[in-house]
Amino acid sequence: MNVFSEDHIQETSKRGRIEVICGSMFSGKTEELIRRLRRAKFAKQRVEIFKPAIDTRYSEAEVVSHDSNSIASTPIDSSATILLLASEMDVVGIDEAQFFDNGLIDVCTQLANNGIRVIIAGLDMDFRGIPFGPMPGLCAIADEVTKVHAICVKCGQLASFSHRTVKNDKQVLLGETSQYEPLCRTCYLKAIHEDSKK
């Protein structure tokens, strides 16, 4: 008798669902997205990965984690493009979802309703601690939400906040460790208090 794990059944049966992986910067969101997508490919499923065209930090055509793991992807400017390119897929991955328009919520719902497994990774809050782009809506409609954490660079506790270390008020500022640091709530509040005095 074959006994299959829940993961195996989930990855091989044609059942639409929405999975969201969210958290602060440096929390391993993209790493987890890549892991799930590789497992789906291993299960011989048709997989397509999308990312916002504006995110060219590591590569123009690949999704790349901070640990330098990568997977081929399709850069797009609008969430509506996903529907055009994903109709024949079993699994759709979307990275940096916070940079997409709010239409992404309807796109993901439509994909899942059509029997496609949708796996989304993105920042849940911007540098001000405000819910970011379509992420709150995606968390609301998701079948499963995984919140991952970084480690606070000040005290070593679990970090949920992305503190911007450079002076710039634009919501979207693509950056790395030279522009952002992961902080726990206590250290984040302390940091923004200090920033306000500068």
Q: Residue 70 in contact with residue 64, Cβ under 8 Å?
A: yes
Residue 22 main-chain phi, psi, to 5 deg: -130, 165
Q: Residue 48 in contact with residue 89, Cβ under 8 Å?
A: yes
CA distance 80 to 103: 7
**Residues classed as catalytic:** 96
Q: Count Cβ atoms below 10 Å from residue 18 Cβ, excluding itself.
A: 23
Under DSSP, the state recorded for 79 is T
